[in-house]
Amino acid sequence: MDLMDSMDWEDALFPEMEQRSIQLEPRGFRDQEEIVTKEEEAALVASLGELNLKPFEFHGHLGNRRVVSFGLKYDYSRRSVEPASEMPAFLDHLLLRVAAFAGCEAGAFQQVGVNEYRPGAGIGWHKDKSQFGIIVAVSLLAPATMRFRRADGAQWNRITHTVNPRSIYILSGEARTEWEHSVPPLNALRYSIIFRTLA
């Protein structure tokens, strides 16, 4: 079983944790619609389709989503950040928009990850690795349901947010360090381009 792509195994292990929903967004989460146009989205998708994407691998298990990293990559066997190939030039303009949205210099984003979610693919509950800092993601094609949860005593605080095509969001502060997030399996193709700073 791929721990990163397993959706709810933690809930099954801890059924005594009562679940409850709250209405507020996690602090440190912010999003914006239409960071790219439909025409720009189509061009990005065409370029992403030419990348050497491979199934996500976690300790010998292969996930449903396909991924590639640039600048840096996380090695799960060594539990460390390792060098990766240079970010392709077609992402340069998008990086500038990401930096403006986050209020950072473009050079602060030293790692870029591309996730391809084919129909039936999702990602389980997780936090991004502690070696990374701010997380900014651009979502293309199919909408996705982004679920957040945080333990609160014997309960879970839960929030659900719809990530629309061509939108951008940031995870910083509590949303980055205290809340886990997951994306249930999708029924249509989706790409997520994720930009990360170092912690």
Q: What is the mean pLDDT of residues 81-86?
A: 96
| pLDDT greater at residue 71 or residue 15 | 71
Q: How many CA atoms does the CB half-sphere of 21 hold within 13 Å?
A: 5
pLDDT tier at 3, thresholds 50, 70, 90? very low
pLDDT at 5 over 80: no
Sketch out the chain's domains with CATH numbers: 9-15+24-198 (2.60.120.590)
Task: Locate 77 and state its tokens.
Answer: 């066997």
pLDDT at residue 23, as a whole number: 47
Beta strands 109-117 and 61-70: pairing type? antiparallel
pLDDT for 64 equals 87
Element housing 102 (H / E): helix 92-102
Confidence class of residue 193 from pLDDT cuts 50, 70 and 90? very high
Specify the residue for token string 């640039």.
70
Which letter does DSSP use for residue 165 in this model? T
pLDDT of residue 15: 47
Mean pLDDT of the chain: 89
What pLDDT does 59 receive?
Answer: 62
Q: Alpha-carbon distance 71 to 123, whole Å?
A: 22
pLDDT band at 131 (very low <50, low <70, confident <90, very high): very high
Q: Look at residue 94 in the predicted model and tell me its pLDDT.
A: 98
Yes or no: say if 186 and 120 are a contact pair by the CB < 8 Å rule.
yes
Do 58 and 2 meet the contact criterion of CB atoms below 8 Å apart?
Answer: yes
